[in-house]
Amino acid sequence: MAAPRDWLGTVEAEGIAGRQGSSGVEVVFPSDPATPAPLCPHGPTLLFVKVNQGKEETRRFYACSACRDRKDCNFFQWEDEKLSGARLAAREAHNQKCQPPLSRTQCVERYVKFIELPLSQRKFCQGCQQLLLPDDWERHQEHRVVGDISVTQLKRPSQLLYPLENKKTNAQYLFTDRSCQFLVDLLSTLGFTRVLCVGTPRLHELIRLKASGEKKSNIKSLLLDIDFRYSQFYMEDSFCHYNMFNHHFFDGKAALEVCRTFLQEDKGEGVIMVTDPPFGGLVEPLAVTFKKLIAMWKEGQSQDSNQKELPIFWIFPYFFEFRIRQFFPSFCMLDYQRFHRTFICVDEAMKYGCMLEVDYDNHALYKHGKTGRKQSPVRIFTNIPPNKIILPSEEGYRFCPLCQRYVSLENQHCEHCNSCTSKDGRKWNHCFLCKKCVKPSWIHCSICSHCALPDHSCGGPKDGCFICGELDHKRSTCPKIATSKKVNNTLFFRAVRKQKQRKSNKMKMGTTKGQSMNHTSVTRKKSRRERAHQYLCS
Ligand code: SAH
Ligand code: ZN
Ligand code: ZN
Ligand code: ZN
Ligand code: ZN
């Protein structure tokens, strides 16, 4: 059956605060779940609901928390579906089969053996993405194997491994050295001694490199990541195989304890969490997870430090500001914009057998539009007071005494908004009709009664409620929704599809009867996606 979900394209969609289309999928967090969520290979699944404007919510279903593509995990179960014993057993067996072939302990044992080998015997199979011990060589004879793996290479696994995710777009979002260096320097200036890296393998790497370098820093780091390949390079106390969308530790209680000990060491003093989740991910499950990590840290606090918050850096695109602040009102978005990520050319890497890393700055693909404006929408969201975070003046940042934060050169203080309002490094203009600052490319539209791109189509999607279309509330608080069905914590994301998938859907539609999506909704989705793109790039 066609499950009504697709995370691709939600990147832009969710972040455009409130700009909802007419259909979408929400995650539901029932306040008192009657039954625990069923498990997929990636831990507990999440409960989703498909919503259509003007209709009550439809049947709810469970699907994988981590995989945005059904090709990667096709778990699907209606909320009220009863499974036979045989099917449950088959699922259990499937979940087992999907777990990594080696246990965490086995990985560590292999690693210890590997570093004891002489350089000439240290091999890495690029095809299998695996460090090889002499016993393995034969099995990888036909594969692309690189030899002489140095200690330096072992310390930089993110350069040795191929980017796993985003194969479709040929890019994994690793920090460039400069961005990573900026972060490490910042963490050290702020006096942190422990960093919980959630989905930041390259930051983890650099912190550890510094800790073992000549000018030793004393910062410790623990990496939590779903990319199991990293377990080959780290001991148990510095890597946990983890799913940040459901707070699932793949190696059970032992791994959870590693994380707890790390957070609670020194009564929780000196620790910060830094996370850089995939953009396509949903904000609410992430927020729920981060609150669990915060709670874990809090347990280790002494009574008198009750008011304190776990310091967090959440690296995410600026257009998610509204969503993030819904869950973490104390968070503020820093103006640091030269926060680039490495663009890895997978095709070229395959061709040349090595990684070619390109700084966004230098990559033609990321020189946007005619102006060649270098656009990185990535920002740091944090609960650390922004006046403590000094942004480099050599890169044009200055301190705004009124806002008590560092802002980029063109970001001018608006006396009407009483704030430095630009979000994207350009000077924004104040619109007296909208009573706020808007992007320089926008003009006030009297038909829409708000500012928009000059060539927008008037009367586009409004911020209204999914059920009745009224503008003053959202679906979850709609008076027309049956009380029993009301969900207390919902999160919206639009099912905007990638062009390719749209095409394949169109094709399927020709042959499959009863496909729920008709032609008009496909074109609507297309134009919505284009609007989203236009919005981001305008
Ligand atoms: N900029 C970061 C990397 C961010 S890419 C750096 O350079 O260190 C996103 C990271 O999140 C990847 O390492 C990926 O493996 C990880 N990730 C993706 N989905 C995840 C999930 N569900 N749980 C935990 N980590 C995940
Ligand atoms: Zn799954
Ligand atoms: Zn200001
Ligand atoms: Zn203004
Ligand atoms: Zn306006």
Confidence (pLDDT) at 519: 38
Ligand nearest to C-alpha 225: 1
* Residue nearest to ligand 1 atom 5, measured at CA: 173
Confidence (pLDDT) at 470: 60
C-alpha distances out from residue 453 to 100, 431, 444, Å? 49, 14, 9
Tens-digit pLDDT profile for residues 421-457: 998 878 899 999 999 999 999 999 998 899 999 988 8
**Under 8 Å between Cβ of 157 and 201:** yes
Average pLDDT, the chain: 78
Ligand 1 contact, 226 CB (< 6 A): yes
**Ligand 1 atom with least separation from CA of 276:** 4
**Is the confidence at residue 508, as pLDDT, over 80?**
no
Residue type, position 535, single letter: Y
Positive or negative, the CA dihedral 66, 69, 75, 77 is positive
Tens-digit pLDDT profile for residues 36-59: 999 999 999 999 998 776 666 678
Q: Which of these ranges, 91-100, 107-116, 335-344, has the smallest mean pLDDT?
A: 335-344
Q: In what order do the strands lie in the sheet with 46-52?
A: 76-78, 60-63, 46-52, 23-28, 490-494
Ligand 1 contact, 200 CB (< 6 A): yes
Output the CA angle 189-191-195, nearest 5 degrees.
Answer: 105
Ligand 1 contact, 452 CB (< 6 A): no
Q: How confident is the model at residue 68 (pLDDT cuts 50, 70, 90)?
A: confident
Q: How far is ligand 5, taken at its centre, from the CA of residue 437, in Å?
A: 8
**Is the confidence at residue 514, as pLDDT, over 60?**
no
CA distance 2 to 523: 19
Q: How confident is the model at residue 368 (pLDDT cuts 50, 70, 90)?
A: very low
**Is the confidence at residue 245, as pLDDT, over 60?**
yes
CA distance 308 to 304: 9
**Is the confidence at residue 335, as pLDDT, over 80?**
yes
Q: Which tokens go with 524?
A: 């609507």
Q: Which tokens go with 270?
A: 């000196």
| Mean pLDDT, residues 378-403 | 93
b/e sequence 34-56, b meaning 16+ C-beta within 10 Å: eeebbbbbbbbbbbbbbbbbeee
Tens-digit pLDDT profile for residues 129-172: 999 999 999 999 999 999 999 999 999 999 898 766 544 333 45
**Ligand 1 atom with least separation from CA of 201:** 8
Residue type, position 280, single letter: G
Q: How confident is the model at residue 375 (pLDDT cuts 50, 70, 90)?
A: low
| Mean pLDDT, residues 291-295 | 97
Q: How far is ligand 3, taken at its centre, from the CA of residue 497, in Å?
A: 38
Residue 20 dihedral angles phi and psi, to the nearest 5°: -85, 145
